[in-house]
Amino acid sequence: GGEFPGAGGKMSPNAFASVVNIDLLGTYHVMRAVYPYLQRPGGCVLNISAPQAQVPMLAQAHVCAAKAGVEMLTRSLACEWGAEGLRVNAVVPGPIAHTEGMARLAPTPELQAACAQSVPMGRLGEVDDVANACLLLASPLASFITGVVLPVDGGWVQGGAAAVAAQFAGFTRPVD
């Protein structure tokens, strides 16, 4: 999603807008494009959010704003489209091993280890953890679930995310 660390007061408007355009407007454009083709009833949309939507993080104001928008878009369209039998949910992957997000935000083994230690379950997630949550939400088992923003993060947003996020950006105190 165009994620990069950047101090809010020093980031260019273009840099901020690029993340909003990719994350929030990109999600909107895809949802708008698929809307006419969704099976009624029973159609399902799954959006991808990020912990930054729920946890303020240093040098991530652009991602925080964009992903909070994705979560509210998910909830709003779940309400709007529910009458047509359509479901709209989102998944919030936490720190997932061997992903581009981890490579960008925690590029060193030390940062990845600190991140894993900050997860209440004591490990980084796996790609299959996110895939399994998506499979559940897209399945008939979730036929009465809509408007849900489901963290798949081992409890990371409950404690640990904000503390280790400062290390991701290389900050030990507030920026600007």
- Cα(162)–Cα(154) distance, integer angstroms: 15
- Cα(146)–Cα(20) distance, integer angstroms: 24
> Could you confirm whether 67 is annotated as catalytic?
yes
Taking each continuous run of H as one helix and of E as one strand, the counts in the chain are 7, 3
- Residue 11 has φ and ψ, to the nearest 5°, of -75, 140
Sign of the Cα torsion 97, 98, 101, 104 reads: positive
Among residues 18, 49, 139, 143, the one annotated as catalytic is 49
Q: From the centroid of its chain, how far is CA 100?
A: 13
> Could you confirm whether 49 is annotated as catalytic?
yes
Among residues 10, 12, 67, 143, the one annotated as catalytic is 67
Q: Would you please indicate which residues are annotated as catalytic (active-site) residues?
A: 49, 67
